[in-house]
Amino acid sequence: MQNFTLHTPTKILFGKGQIAGLAAEIPADARILMTYGGGSIKHNGVFDQVMSALKGRYVLEFSGIEPNPTYETLMKAVDIVRREKIDFLLAVGGGSVADGTKFIAAAANYTAEADPWHILLTRGAEVTSALPIGVVLTLPATGSESNSGAVITRKTSGDKQAFMNPLVCPKFAVLDPEVTYSLPPRQIANGVVDAFVHTVEQYLTYPVNGKVQDRFAEGLLLTLIEEGPRALKEPTNYDVRANVMWSATQALNGLIGAGVPQDWSTHMLGHEITALHGLDHAQTLAIVLPAMLNARRVQKREKLLQYAQRVWNLTSGSDDERIDGAIAATRHFFESLGVPTRFSDYKLDGSSIPTLVSKLNEKNLTALGEHYDITLEHSQRVYEAAL
């Protein structure tokens, strides 16, 4: 096992009706900016629940944070924070709203002369202060509600960049599975795929004998495989939604990745597809992952065999046959959720692959994976294999 530091300070309030307890988690005299997305929370009752919980408090609203939240939109919120002396941010939404709110929290307190986009260029290293954040989660997927990372897009340049800093880790997160009942199936499916791939990217590397981490990861994968399809078929089954929601949080709060190698190459290659073609984040992961696993079958051999056995119960056939079976089962799982796994399914013919690869090059993403040996040429072949 590798050395690690693990800090998961976000207080989780999980279950039916937990939004009502929100006010106790925010200082009584806080000047709150509530951030949200396109307004679905006004139709599903979440907005009313939050406002009711915060009755008598100072609350301003900032709406319009997009999927793949943009610097351009978020800087408008930063202006409001500074002008209105906001001192607490309450993100009500999914991963995009949480991510965007993390940028607002850091940018509002960013004292350097430079443009706050510098926070992204330095991957968060220069953040020395941030507003406190709480999250009311409406879409289980990214894990952003209890981690320190965020991904922000700059419209003008088409860039999609990540930053991390413990200062933007939410103080609390409210997770009520009931608020997910009204989500469109596509968003639930995307969330399951996202959580699944987060888990895989911290699990399918090379063995370091981290038995707790491996079994926790396998537990999340098995849960998502069982509950993902049911979440679509039985949208108001509370326990199913609860299991999906809790899996997504645990998949990316740092726990399963502590002390083990990680491989975020599928995310890196996927981000470029979203930036260029606007595909949903999870769709890009579903395209890249099966091709990536196949391309890395030598380097990931032992863990792929463990994955085949423990997650997909594949115990017969040769090593290569079991690995083939596990990759095919992964692909089939994504497809069964209605998330296609090839570029062609999204009417993309591969002509943009040179552009995708040159974007990776611009960002110096030229040595990806747990061995830092996935070159641009390898990435190009993975894109090509996913046609």
CA 321 to chain centre: 31
227 binds its own copies (CB under 8 A): yes
Q: How far is the CB of 155 from its own copies (least distance, A)?
A: 37
CA distance 323 to 261: 20
280 binds its own copies (CB under 8 A): no
Question: Which range of residues in 52-60, 82-90, 219-227, 261-269 is near its own copies by CB under 8 A?
Answer: 219-227
Q: List the one residue out of 116, 48, 41, 108 whose CA is nearest residue 78.
A: 108
Question: By CB under 8 A, what part of segment 344-363 binds its own copies?
Answer: none
Q: How far is the CB of 8 from its own copies (least distance, A)?
A: 5
Residue-by-residue DSSP string for 41-98? GGTSSHHHHHHHHTTTSEEEEE--PPSS-BHHHHHHHHHHHHHTT--EEEEEESHHHH
Burial class (CB in 10 A: 0-12, 13-18, 19+), 101: buried
**Binding pattern for the stretch 7-36 against its own copies, x by CB under 8 A and - elsewhere:** xxx-xxxxxxxx------------------
CA distance 301 to 113: 49
Give the residue ranges of DSSP H helices in 109-151.
118-121
332 binds its own copies (CB under 8 A): no
234 binds its own copies (CB under 8 A): no
223 binds its own copies (CB under 8 A): yes
Q: How far is the CB of 123 from its own copies (least distance, A)?
A: 21
258 binds its own copies (CB under 8 A): yes
Kindly tell me which of 82 and 211 has the beta carbon lying closer to its own copies. 211
Helix or strand or coil: residue 362? Answer: helix
Binding residues for its own copies (CB under 8 A): 1-9, 11-18, 208-212, 214-216, 218-220, 222-223, 226-227, 238-239, 242-243, 246-247, 250, 255, 258-259
